[in-house]
Structure 1
Amino acid sequence: MGNKLSGKDLIKLGFPKNNAINIALGQINRYRKKEKKERILLEAKQVLLNPEKFTADGTWGKVAEGLTKPVEVKFNELMNTRAPFSIFGENEIDEQAKRQLYDALKLPIAVSGALMPDAHSGYGLPIGGVLATDNAVIPYGVGVDIGCRMSLSIFDLPASFLKGKDHMLVQILKEHTKFGMTETHKIKADHEIFARNEFSEIPFVKALLDKAYKQLGTSGGGNHFVEFGIVDLTSDHPEWKMGAGSYFAVLSHSGSRGLGANIAKQYTYLATKQCPLPKQVQHLAWLDLDTHDGHEYWLAMNLAGDYAKACHDDIHRRIGKALGKKPSVTIENHHNFAWKEIVDGQERIVHRKGATPAAKGELGIIPGSMTAPGFIVRGKGNAESLNSASHGAGRLFSRAKCKQNFTQSDIKKVLAAADVTLVGGNIDEAPMAYKDIRKVMANQTELVEVLGTFTPKIVRMDR
């Protein structure tokens, strides 16, 4: 018996001469290739005899599915008509972003959609796109940075706490925040997230555990940031034990790091293999939630979302410890995720790619730019927006156009005028790259109620 397992070996066991063999070989090569051939064949025989016992197994579940109810791979045409949709702030949104939503609304699984006033084009769904689907999840409808989120900690300290402390606060950000692909904390923090079953039961996710542990409490590149600033509350909030006034606060924006990016890449690949689509919409390939891969992605996506929260919690813990203070309240929300929600009386999968959940009474934070205020909001539960709002100001200039149009000198002038100190940051995140957040907010008054603002003063970004 040779060392390498082949399709002939599986046929000898009794495997049918169909795609079940290719699935089995793929899973074995991906997750079990270092193990002895004899052991793999013994397990494969058990799967063949009793596939229903292995449906939840990380390696063999997909094989069992191939033996009992194979996933039908067929080319999916777009529908001739669009699912119903709403656009907020339509005159401020570029045509390409609208076309991307229109294409998504023609998917056979599409139920309804919406476009937020900060929308601009992206991959798959546009940024600021919201799409409800029928029992299917689109990995690129969630996005590469799964669970990218905002987290605002407000301290019971007056805004004047900032005065004369620039050097100290800059040093805290330099020492206690890490950005980009390679920076990690010297002293790693443990977290209950690492005990989650997904890290042991899903082989692909298990291989990402070490990376996730190392990157806990760090932020990505691009538009991710940690900022000190001033929160202005327009009214009293007894539930937070805070009155109207101005307070010192910390705002962070980041996601699930390498864990989420790898999950997005893997399951997008699987989706495109199972759900071929016309070229212009191939990024919208979906996974049926009743399939092994669909169920596994759903578990992995939720893990990545919880990991993103754990990263923010660790960032705010480290900064709070350095300040010697605990926040009075933390307001936070995802904006790259998919949720099971009731739409028109039925459970649907609601994708929000660059959109803030805004169910009735739900709190969130919508940032502007490093020189423009962010807004603390409470959702109004608008059904036409699928209970959503914008996730920020939205880009006016692409990263490439920023590099063509702006210089570091331009950025320094704008920062000086706004009295903002920047640590790190690149030209592609120039404040001028973003739409006017006040216009964006004016276009979604029916979606959210504004409770207060956050004005950045000391900003840390990747270099």
Structure 2
Amino acid sequence: MKKISGKDLLRIGFEENIILGTVLQFCENYQGNLNKGEVLSQLKKMVETPEFTPKESEFYDLAQQIIQLQKSLETDVIPLNESPTEFQIFGGEHIEEGALKQMQTAIKLPVSVAGALMPDAHQGYGLPIGGVLATKNAIIPYGVGVDIGCRMALSVYNIDELFFLENQAKFKRELIAQSNFGAGNGFRGQYKSDHEVLENKLFQENDLLRNLKDKAWAQLGSSGGGNHFVEFGIIEFAERDEVLNIDKGTYVALLTHSGSRGFGATIAGHYTQLAKKICKLPQEAKNLAYFDLNSTEGQEYWLAMNLAGDYASACHQIIHQKMAKALGAEVLATVENHHNFAWKETWNGEEVIVHRKGATPASKDVMGIIPGSMTAPGFLVRGKGNTEAIQSASHGAGRQMSRTQAKKEISTSDFKSILKDHNVTLIGAGLDEAPMAYKDIHQVMEAQKDLVDVVAKFTPKMVRMADDGSRED
């Protein structure tokens, strides 16, 4: 196995303390069959949750050492509440234990006011994906997430299904021509797009953002890696929608999912590390480190987060504008919503900061899009404003397999077979994004019928994703 360095361990989340030395010594003496990447993948899980390491694992003894050392390092920490507020769980029978434990920790923060777990929830870093947390005058960078402002955007065209079926070669050609995928990828020279978001004064006032402007410009209008996509599908309105002014029927639509690219990821990493230095929490809660919103650092992050959200929106606008122009299509309606963000809202009569990490805003009559998978339908929805859910809903079907598990358990032949069965054309994507890696969207929607009303159903037909397995979120 190639040597693992201290820099490798710092990169995956370990800090410069006695634990780092212990883990380095373990790596130097490691005699197992895993390669460097596989060992680092196992160690990364142990940064936050060493207690989840199974007894049969060759890393179990190391995990126990880490747990003991973490306890010895816990001095001058902010204690968690011993009697936390209860939080509502939607679709709990389909939510893994790790996500539940993370939410139980988050609700114990001294700044936590209310919480809720959406039916697509699964374990993440700090706040679980699918977690909603309301805090009192505090902002948690990892409560927002790495891909700040990640969102869905939908354009409904004046094109019928038959035209799409008869002209799939044209749609495929434009899908490839008008989209750009992969972690670190972007545009150069004459292919760069312009948008007013790049004129934001924060690019001059904040040193971190100033140094990121060129990267932001290069990646403007691109989609990144992971579960991000640009896809054509058929959207069906069972009845006329007066708000969107769309008649009953089926239409071709473009649906996109992506966020703030490397720009947002760098902001998230920088301010998370800063929060951890300022806000010392017990080991199980360290990734929930927060800023007082009135502090200089809190205001810096709040402004940077909002800029990253505006940037993510600009990326979608450019993709949708380019596609409509290329197709010569009239856009009948557009809907956009974001997740991985924090909002100032009123809850039970007081102003709170609502973190939705992988959760869709669902205030009364607010519209959103909840996708399934590349072979399962997504839904255009209208929020009901459910207070128990902190006016939120799921942001998708949610994973039921980790990426590693999906790659091990799903075969290429099974992947191709399910695509064929659903008549879906796929450009890019790996086994980790196969439909079988995701929960049943119908079960998820049933678990949140008190949170949203379905306005229309979107069925994917042609999907493009990153083809290199890259991730930024």
TM (norm. structure 1) is 0.83
Match of 1:83 in 2: 85
Aligned residue identity for 1:429 = E
Match of 1:165 in 2: 167
Q: Secondary structure at the match of 2:388?
A: helix
Distance 1:460 1:74 in 2: 49
Match of 1:278 in 2: 282
Residue 405 (structure 2) pairs with residue 401 (structure 1): yes
Match of 2:223 in 1: 219
Contact 2:132 2:355 in 1 (8 A): yes
Match of 1:125 in 2: 127
Give per-residue Cα distances to partners, 1:72-107, cap 9 Å, x unaligned.
x95211110112310011111111111100000000
Distance 1:107 1:160 in 2: 54
The aligned runs of 1:50-449 (5 Å cut-off) are: 74-186=76-188, 187-449=191-453
1:239 shift after superposition: 3.4
Aligned residue identity for 1:365 = I
Distance 2:407 2:115 in 1: 33
Bigger Cα displacement from structure 2, 232-241 vs 443-452: 232-241
Aligned residue identity for 2:430 = N
Match of 1:31 in 2: none
Contact 1:142 1:336 in 2 (8 A): yes
Distance 1:385 1:377 in 2: 15
Contact 2:153 2:336 in 1 (8 A): yes
Q: Secondary structure at the match of 1:280?
A: helix
Give per-residue Cα distances to partners, 1:104-126, cap 9 Å, x unaligned.
00001100000001111110000
Contact 1:151 1:312 in 2 (8 A): yes
1:328 shift after superposition: 1.0
Aligned residue identity for 2:192 = K
1:180 shift after superposition: 1.1
1:238 shift after superposition: 3.3
Contact 1:366 1:375 in 2 (8 A): yes
Distance 1:126 1:360 in 2: 25
Distance 1:217 1:83 in 2: 41
1:199 shift after superposition: 1.0
1:409 shift after superposition: 1.4
1:373 shift after superposition: 0.2
Distance 1:378 1:184 in 2: 34
1:182 shift after superposition: 3.7
Distance 2:330 2:209 in 1: 33
1:383 shift after superposition: 0.3
1:202 shift after superposition: 1.1
Bigger Cα displacement from structure 2, 420-429 vs 233-242: 233-242
Aligned residue identity for 1:121 = Q
Match of 2:42 in 1: none
Moved over 6 A (4+): none
Give per-residue Cα distances to partners, 1:196-245, cap 9 Å, x unaligned.
11111111111111100000000010100000000001211233331011
Aligned residue identity for 1:332 = E
Distance 2:321 2:130 in 1: 30
Q: Secondary structure at the match of 1:361?
A: coil
Aligned residue identity for 1:78 = L
Distance 1:256 1:101 in 2: 25
Q: Secondary structure at the match of 2:372?
A: coil
1:156 shift after superposition: 1.6
Structure 1: gaps (5+ residues):
1-72
Distance 1:430 1:238 in 2: 36
Bigger Cα displacement from structure 2, 381-390 vs 189-198: 189-198
Contact 1:74 1:275 in 2 (8 A): no
Q: Secondary structure at the match of 1:190?
A: coil
Distance 1:450 1:206 in 2: 42
TM (norm. structure 2) is 0.81
Q: Secondary structure at the match of 1:150?
A: strand
Contact 1:180 1:462 in 2 (8 A): yes
Distance 1:182 1:171 in 2: 23
